[in-house]
Amino acid sequence: MNDKAHHIRERFPDKSHIIDLLILEDAEFLALCEDYDACVDALHYWAKSKASEAETRVNEYRTLIEELEEEITQVLAAV
């Protein structure tokens, strides 16, 4: 199991087994999951931040997360 994809497993717990298989077999899917995890971590960081640009960053990361979820959902649906 790849720890770099823990957020996507949390998001789609019923697909954990398929996610694990795809991560091993599909480098592009692994990259999507790693990007998703990085965005979720960044969202959590900026959501706690007091910096002036925090709200803007939160909105940007939410949008990125939605886009990545859509891509990942498409891959999972095709399996």
Smallest CA-to-CA distance from 65 within 24, 27, 3, 10 is with 10
Q: How confident is the model at residue 3 (pLDDT cuts 50, 70, 90)?
A: confident
Q: How far apart are CA 73 and CA 15, in angstroms?
A: 10
So what's the pLDDT on residue 5?
Answer: 85
Q: Does 2 score more than 60 pLDDT?
A: no
Q: How confident is the model at residue 69 (pLDDT cuts 50, 70, 90)?
A: very high
What are the extents of the domains in the chain? Answer: 3-78
Residues 6+ apart with CB under 8 A from 14: none
The predicted model gives 37-56 an average pLDDT of: 97
The predicted model gives 6-11 an average pLDDT of: 94
Q: Does 79 score more than 80 pLDDT?
A: yes
Q: How far apart are CA 47 and CA 55, in angstroms?
A: 7
